[in-house]
């Protein structure tokens, strides 16, 4: 059995995927037409642009433009169902999915519309896939905007599994949102234990932003975090504290993160060998060139052929161990990983 087959059949969790980044070009243009939204490019140009290299700022401009086509509850349901269908085909059995309500609220869409559409989809597929929603704050926005989001979200706290922080790192330090995270926890938006918190850090900005996010936001998980390799002491601390990094290999290639900061380094292998709890994810798969199985195969290329089954087993288990599910569920899913891979 090839490693490709093992990746395909193995149960896995996805912890770093933005629902907005799963919209296929065909659906993007279908929704634009339905909602009378003008896109300044053709579907062919859209496909071509997604094949090209981006930097993060250029990508976010195009990404925000595309989000304007999502208007109704059914629109959000539709993009979620499209992602879940793809995830199920990659044998994702559990996922914690990011959504950026501030992006849509700026376009006049209510929080109620967003969360009802998304949760309708996750409820519909619950027998095949456990899907949870992580509400992200946009770090470039002021505190007042984030506090207003908390007010809008509080009545729907039972539908929100945790909170995150994304958007541009540069010029937007974690401490800017320390109060926001504290209040979100008080309002019940961070799960029953108040610990379901994560933050994008260490992608464009250096290791100091990872340290700052851990200190100011008290997060048990860092999204991306590849720049942790700039600081060996940080990596050792991540290992000791079992803080997980949600790596997205194809995203790092597409946005030239690896090319710019670690051109001669096998990032996944380095972090794995240090003992950091890393997971593999797709980020924005329709934009960055692959869903979760494609990212696993990309990551495993860094390892020798005779290492790959061992590495795959640990990465799959990490995907559950780093999640916000209950401990007994983590144990059960890890057992399913062993059951699947022990066939080979």
- Residue tagged active-site, from 203, 304, 328, 339: 203
Q: Which DSSP symbol is given to 343? A: T
Contacts of 95 (CB under 8 A, 6+ apart): 13, 14, 15, 17, 87, 129, 130, 131, 132
Paired tokens of 54: 């981006």
Q: Are 315 and 278 in contact (CB under 8 A)?
A: yes
Query: Distance (Å, rounded) from C-alpha 106 to C-alpha 104?
Result: 5
Query: Distance (Å, rounded) from C-alpha 42 to C-alpha 174?
Result: 37
Q: Which DSSP symbol is given to 188? A: T
Does the annotation mark 73 as catalytic? Answer: no
Q: Are 14 and 339 in contact (CB under 8 A)?
A: no
Query: Distance (Å, rounded) from C-alpha 329 to C-alpha 142?
Result: 37
Ramachandran category for residue 9: left, alpha or beta (phi over 0 → left; psi -120 to 50 → alpha): alpha
Paired tokens of 291: 């869903």
Residue numbers annotated as active site: 203
């Amino acid at each position: 059995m090839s490693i490709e087959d093992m990746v395909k059949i193995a149960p896995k969790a996805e912890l770093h995927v933005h629902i907005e980044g799963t919209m296929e070009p065909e659906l993007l243009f279908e929704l634009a037409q339905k909602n009378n939204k003008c896109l300044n490019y053709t579907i062919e140009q859209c496909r071509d642009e997604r094949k090209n290299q981006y930097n993060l700022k250029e990508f976010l401009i195009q990404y925000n433009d595309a989000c304007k086509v999502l208007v109704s509850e059914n629109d959000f349901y539709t993009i979620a169902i499209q992602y879940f269908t793809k995830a199920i085909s990659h044998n994702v059995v559990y996922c914690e999915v990011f959504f950026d309500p501030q992006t849509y609220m700026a376009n006049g869409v209510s929080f109620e519309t967003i969360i009802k559409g998304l949760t309708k989809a996750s409820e519909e597929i619950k027998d095949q896939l456990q899907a949870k929603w992580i509400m992200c704050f946009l770090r470039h926005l002021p505190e007042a905007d984030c506090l207003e989001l908390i007010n809008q979200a509080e009545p729907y706290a039972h539908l929100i599994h945790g909170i995150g922080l994304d958007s541009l790192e540069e010029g937007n330090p974690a401490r800017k949102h320390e109060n926001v995270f504290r209040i979100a926890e008080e309002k019940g938006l961070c799960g029953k234990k108040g610990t379901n918190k994560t933050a994008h850090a260490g992608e464009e900005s250096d290791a100091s932003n990872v340290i700052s996010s851990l200190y100011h936001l008290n997060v048990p998980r860092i999204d991306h975090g590849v720049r942790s390799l700039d600081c060996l002491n940080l990596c050792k601390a991540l290992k000791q504290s079992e803080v997980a990094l949600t790596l997205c290999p194809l995203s790092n290639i597409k946005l030239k993160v690896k090319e710019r900061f670690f051109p001669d380094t096998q990032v996944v292998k380095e972090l794995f060998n240090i003992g950091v709890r890393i997971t593999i994810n797709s980020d924005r798969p329709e934009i960055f060139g692959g869903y979760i199985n494609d990212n696993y195969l990309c990551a495993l290329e860094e390892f020798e052929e005779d290492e790959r089954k061992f590495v795959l087993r640990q990465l799959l288990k990490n995907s559950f161990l780093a999640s916000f599910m209950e401990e007994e569920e983590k144990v059960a899913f890890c057992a399913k990983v062993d059951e699947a891979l022990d066939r080979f």
